Chains A and B, each alone.
Chain A
Amino acid sequence: MDEVTNGPAQPPWAAELDAQVAAAVRPGSTLREVADRIRSQSGVRSATLREGLVKTDPPIVELLVEYEVDPGQHATRVHDLILAPDGTVTWAGDHPA
């Protein structure tokens, strides 16, 4: 038994997709640029913002990305992006939807 938990175990495809998104968050990018970049990636069905902000300081916006992980099989990951006062974003992490 492991008492130190960090959420449920990640599915096998998650790490690759997370890296794909992390790479799309280039320095100085705005949220729209990142979302557009992710939408253009293969296997991405949709990229939408979750309503509201996570109230860390600085706040985090959650980008919900739906992927095709296998033919006909879809999954959604949440990618946390730190929102700077100037509107640019930096990658913060990923977690299940």
Chain B
Amino acid sequence: MAADISTMDPDLLLQELRARATGAEGGPPEAAVAIAGAPGAAEGSGGFDRVPELAEISDEDLADALRLGQKVIYGTDDRQDVYQVADRRLRRDAASVVALVNPSSLIDNGDGTSTLTGQTLGVRRNLCASEPFRDQPSIAFCSGFLVDPSIVVTAAHCVDVGTLADVRFVFGYEMSNATTAMTRIPNGEIYRGRRILGRAIGNQGTDWCVVQLDRPVLNHPYVQVRRTGKIPDGAGVHVIGHPSGLPKKIAGNATVRDNTPPRYFVANLDTYGGNSGSPVFHSGTHVAEGILVRGETDYVTVGSCVRSNVCPANGCRGEDVTRATEFDELVPRNQHDVIPFNPANARVVSAGGRWKIEVDGMWLLDFAGNQSEAQRALAIIQQYGFNAQCFVGRPNPSMEFYLVNGQAPRGSMPGEDCIGFDPANLEATYVAGRWKVVEGNHWLLDFDQEQHEARQALSYILRYQFRSICFVGRPGPSLTYFKG
């Protein structure tokens, strides 16, 4: 006769599932569930003995019973602290992830740092002694990720127009080793939201929010997001964020389980509350495929303490990931519209009554009848060594800039006509019926109705850390260029 598993100790159910997952003798071989990383877990069979009276119970039924007594772990618990991960691409993914915290969780130390404060997860959640990470602090209420130097993406449930002022975006909240959480944060790693660029929430899995930060983030990478199509069926994925408010965790070893909904997909990612807004990456390409938003129940009280919910790798409802293609249009593109050239071959020529700069048979610039401006532009190109001409919004570009070996031109020339600015103070905004890149009350660039071009231009300025805009022939300059 099969055991009444509803009355059995959840520890026994967990032991049986672990034993099956690790191939211990004594029951059905098709184990689908295991928990790793918990105290007592070991390599190989994990040291878990089968529980004879559970031999006839299916994995699915065991997991269901355990759920009632216990967070959402699919198969093994794949969460790892960042310091435990050696893979450079994973670490780079992780460096783009930010914790969303309440200002009340931050105490300014008055020395250029602030301290994140909060209870340990174990205390806050009354976790059972076997639960991993119970001695770590639980502070973040959501997660987010950098998609451009000044733009963070998170879930719509995490922030809206009314709450944006009460959110702090904190980089670097992670464990430095097994016992030390980095809670003393340089103030330079703490950002505020300047505005919400877009937000959508509703059924069909739509749950995203794109936030412009109060200043650009210059010391963390930003991720690439999917622009078209869908992640392949069954693809491997990993999620990075702050489950249960913990220091940053990387959880991989998951796959896409249901790729049919148009606005989201479902994966068996190990996530908890606090993971909302986490980027979900394709583990092969490291492109951000979407935002973790919704999923299975995290914790359930059993007796006097709280345990994680455990699901078979293919069981439970799965975790919903809003597709990046829902918001990608608000993320500036990284692909340049660029024409490379050799500045040594540039020359001023007259063609059809117009003065031009030509390089290897290609017209680079047109100066109409102004030969002196053409000569001046050529001198500038060759002095700095411009070797790439870049555009925003061709065929009638709203912005042009030049790079030197992929970097902002640097240095100076006598007689240059330049206007300096602080890139940290720039923003793309709609002023008097037109999209502009402005610094305070001064506008730098005008994009008319082209919002996307304004954001793209700002992205380039921040990315290359341009600090001045220079002209040949104002007003109506024949050459405009930026310098770092």
Contacts and interface: CB of A to CB of B under 8 A. Distances in A.
A25 B391 CA distance: 54
B463 interface: no
Contacts of A53: 273, 294-298
B245 A57 contact: yes
A74 to B, nearest CB: 15
A55 B157 CA distance: 9
B199 A55 contact: no
Interface string B291-334: 01111111101000010000000000101100000000000000
Nearest to A97: B203
A1 B430 contact: yes
B293 A4 contact: no
Interface string B169-194: 00000000000000000000000000
Given A3-B195, A3-B451, A6-B161, A55 B203 contact: no
A62 B463 CA distance: 39
B203 A7 contact: no
Interface stretch (B1-9, B107-115, B135-143, B370-378): B135-143
Contacts of B160: 6-7, 93
Contacts of A6: 160-162, 196, 199
B275 interface: yes
A80 B157 contact: yes
B225 interface: no
Contact of B272 (A7, A52, A55): A55
Interface string A37-52: 0000000000000011
Contacts of B245: 57
Interface string A1-33: 101111100000000000000000000000000
B293 A55 contact: yes
Contacts of B126: 85
Contact of A55 (B196, B202, B276, B451): B276
A3, A55, A57, A93: which has the most chain B beta carbons within 10 Å?
Answer: A55
Q: Is the interface of B mostly helix, strand, loop or mixed?
A: mixed
Contact of A54 (B140, B244, B276, B430): B276
B320 A4 contact: no
Interface in B82-129: 124-126
A95 B204 CA distance: 13
A36 to B, nearest CB: 21
B326 to A, nearest CB: 13
Given A56-B273, A56-B276, A57-B140, A7 B201 contact: yes
Interface string B132-167: 000000101110000000000001111011100000
Interface residues of B, number: 49
Contacts of B196: 4-6
A58 to B, nearest CB: 6
Contacts of B140: 57
A52 B306 contact: no
B296 A7 contact: no
A14 to B, nearest CB: 13
Contacts of B473: none
Given A5-B196, A57-B274, A52 B317 contact: yes
Contacts of B273: 53, 55-59
A53 B196 CA distance: 24
A64 to B, nearest CB: 8
B296 A56 contact: no
Contacts of A85: 124-126, 299, 301, 306
Interface string A43-87: 000000001111111111000000000000000001010000100
Given A7-B156, A85-B299, A52 B199 contact: no
A73 B200 CA distance: 25
A51 B296 CA distance: 8
Contacts of A96: 201-202
Contacts of B317: 51-52
Nearest to B241: A55
Contacts of A55: 155, 271-276, 292-295, 298, 319
Contacts of A56: 141-142, 155, 157-158, 273-274, 276
A3 B430 contact: yes
Contacts of B274: 55-57
A4 B198 CA distance: 7
A48 to B, nearest CB: 12
Given A5-B199, A95-B201, 19 more contacts: A1-B430, A3-B195, A3-B451, A5-B196, A6-B162, A6-B199, A52-B295, A52-B297, A52-B317, A54-B207, A54-B276, A55-B274, A55-B293, A56-B157, A57-B142, A57-B245, A57-B273, A93-B160, A97-B202
27 contacts: A3-B195, A4-B195, A4-B196, A5-B161, A5-B198, A5-B199, A7-B160, A51-B317, A52-B297, A52-B317, A53-B297, A54-B276, A56-B157, A56-B158, A56-B273, A56-B276, A57-B141, A57-B242, A57-B244, A57-B272, A57-B273, A57-B274, A59-B273, A59-B298, A78-B202, A80-B157, A93-B160
Interface of A: 1, 3-7, 51-60, 78, 80, 85, 93, 95-97
The 7 closest A-B pairs by CB, nearest first: A57-B274, A59-B273, A57-B273, A55-B276, A6-B161, A56-B276, A57-B245
